[in-house]
């Protein structure tokens, strides 16, 4: 799983008159940064575990149960509380929610697959992770497209 790019938008004009432009800037500059750290911590911990060839299934199960899943659940819960004001930003936000929900579903299924020693569940979890990446890529692409539409300068991190 790749980390979600964090977008930093720079407001060129002091006053935004377009509601969608204002909403997008608010979404990216104020609403997402409040919760994005939860997602980053959970995903980083997962990637750290997977990159380590010496982990056991028990280690991964415990880390999923005690760290990764609780953080990611909190992230998804907080993400759902964000309410964009315009249809354009709301539609992008919904891609983020769908991607995050798929990712959470995958993490839970992986946890269950490890607990039950069920390879089919683990394979299905990997499939759900791929599906979540598709939503996350669409989310990022649509943000860039909307930023370009409103001539918002940005920097990808």
What are 41-77's pLDDT values in tens digits? 999 999 999 998 888 999 999 999 999 999 999 999 9
The Cα-based distances of 131 to 38, 55, 70, 74, 101 in angstroms read: 21, 25, 21, 21, 10
Q: At what angle do helices 69-81 and 36-51 cross, to 10 degrees?
A: 150
pTM flag (> 0.75):
yes
Indicate whether 90 belongs to any domain. yes
Name the percent of the chain lying above pLDDT 90. Answer: 81
- Mean of the pLDDT values across residues 19-32? 94
pLDDT at 10: 43
Percent of the chain with pLDDT over 70: 88
Nearest in space to 92 (alpha carbons), one of 17, 45, 26: 26
Q: Is residue 5 assigned to a domain?
A: no
What pLDDT is stored for residue 156 in this prediction?
A: 64
Q: What is the mean pLDDT of residues 112-119?
A: 98
Residue 143 within any structural domain of the chain: yes
Average pLDDT over residues 96-108: 98
Let me know if residue 41 belongs to a domain.
yes
Q: Report the pLDDT value the prediction gives residue 4, as an integer from 0 to 100.
A: 43
Helix (H) or strand (E) holding 153: strand 153-156
- Quick check: 11 pLDDT over 90? no
* Residue 139: per-residue pLDDT: 96
Band (13; pLDDT cuts 50, 70, 90): very low
Q: Considering only CA atoms, which of 127, 76, 116, 65 is closest in space to residue 98?
A: 76
In a domain, 13, yes or no: no
- Whether 6 is in a domain gets the answer no
Residue 94 belongs to some domain of the structure: yes
The answer on pLDDT for 138 being more than 90 is: yes
Residue 7 in any domain: the answer is no
Q: Which domain holds residue 27?
A: 20-156
In the chain, the number of structural domains is 1
Euclidean distance between CA atoms 19 and 15, whole angstroms: 11
């Amino acid at each position: 799983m790749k980390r979600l790019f964090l977008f930093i938008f720079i407001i060129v004009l002091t006053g935004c008159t377009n509601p969608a432009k204002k909403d997008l800037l608010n979404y990216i500059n104020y609403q997402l940064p409040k919760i994005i750290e939860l997602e980053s911590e959970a995903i980083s911990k997962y990637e750290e575990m997977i990159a380590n060839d010496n982990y056991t299934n028990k280690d991964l199960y415990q880390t999923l149960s005690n760290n990764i899943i609780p953080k990611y659940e909190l992230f998804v819960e907080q993400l759902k509380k964000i309410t964009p004001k315009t249809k354009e930003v709301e539609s992008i936000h919904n891609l983020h929610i769908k991607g995050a929900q798929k990712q959470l579903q995958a993490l839970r299924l992986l946890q269950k697959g490890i607990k039950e020693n069920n390879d089919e569940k683990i394979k299905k979890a990997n499939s759900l992770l791929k599906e979540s990446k598709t939503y996350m890529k669409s989310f990022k692409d649509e943000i860039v497209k909307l930023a370009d539409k409103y001539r918002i300068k940005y920097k990808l991190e």
